Amino acid sequence: MILDIDAGNTFIKWRLSDGRRGRLLTADLTDAGVRDWGSGLDQVRVASVAGEPVNQTIKQYCNRFGLPMPRFARTKAVAAGVTNSYTNPSRMGVDRWLAMLAAYNDAHAECCVVDCGSAITVDYISATGEHLGGYIIPGLRLMQRGLLSNTAEILVDQAVEGFDILPGKHTSAAVMHGINFTFQALVEKIIKDTGGCHLYITGGDGELFHHLAGGGRLIPDLVLDGLPWGIEN
């Protein structure tokens, strides 16, 4: 039995090779949540961008509950047919790397990977596996928090609902619709750029992106799917 863990900035997602899975807040990593990971495991594989304190906590829990010591995926210059464009590959988040490995090894063709998490990352891969570069922009909630934390006189009603991009007629609507407008513009830009290539979508806001894009493959576990290629043998 293999346990795969995707430790992000907001959530920790986990999946067992028998299909069981779960999710918990990264800040709420507790005994109760770890017990759901099961027992009698052969391997624990981890993709983490949550930082070293969280990584150490995962190790401590594995030790406490008699689980195998976790093996952490690392971003490499080349893996599973994909060549990293970064001069220093370790500077690329391992979640981006694993999502690209999973997408390319599914498509075996030119593809674009969009991960709509705390940050939105967009990466392009050629038909021959060359990473062509990408974009990183704030995610929807990060845009909102960033605006509000740096503009003391903007007061926003969090109850503004729906995805609307019409000009707002009060401050709350202007802020939320402006953020939505930025997100939709990103979607339209990516759809224009990708043309006939394969589009892969993941992340917490991936469902919204998929809806606006009107296509592409929505794969919530894309990072976990890339773990087998991201762990050194």
Nearest to 222 by CA among 116, 84, 92: 116
Query: Is 164 labeled as catalytic in the residue annotation?
Result: no
Query: CA 33: distance to chain centroid?
Result: 21
Q: CA 89 to CA 97: how far, in whole Å? A: 9
Contact 217, 114 (CB under 8 A): no
Nearest to 45 by CA among 77, 14, 70: 70
Give the sheet arrangement for strand 21-25, strand by strand: 21-25, 11-16, 2-7, 43-48, 71-72
Please count the residues of the chain: 233
Catalytic member of 4, 6, 95, 115: 95
Using DSSP's 3-state secondary structure scheme, residue 81 falls into coil
Q: Which residues are catalytic?
A: 95
